[in-house]
């Protein structure tokens, strides 16, 4: 059995065997298995953190409590 190593990894075909281990057929398939799903911001109602469930509007306040204002500015 192959393990997922990266998001968007494609698995090639796999052999199908019976319970006794006899070869039945080879299935040629490709499966895209993303590691993360994109969820649009308008569908997020609650963030689950180590402090509990927080509404998106409260995240800004939480960041302000833990970080200095200069640390919150992201510059290119």
Instruction: Convert the pLDDT of each residue in 7-21 to its tens digit.
Output: 555 544 455 566 666
- Tell me which residue of 69, 43, 65 sits closest to 56, measured CA to CA: 43
The tally of CA atoms less than 13 A away on the side-chain side of residue 7 is 5
Model confidence pLDDT, tens digit, residues 28-59: 566 676 777 888 889 999 988 888 898 988 88
| CA-wise closest residue to 30 among 9, 2, 11 | 11
In angstroms, the CA 4 to CA 14 distance is 14
């Amino acid at each position: 059995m192959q393990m997922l190593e990266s998001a968007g990894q494609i698995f090639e075909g796999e052999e199908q065997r019976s319970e006794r281990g006899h070869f039945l057929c080879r299935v040629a398939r490709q499966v895209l298995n993303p590691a993360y799903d994109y969820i649009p911001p308008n569908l997020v109602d609650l963030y689950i953190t180590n402090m509990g469930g927080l509404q998106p509007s409260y995240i800004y306040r939480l960041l302000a409590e833990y970080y200095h204002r200069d640390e919150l500015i992201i510059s290119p």
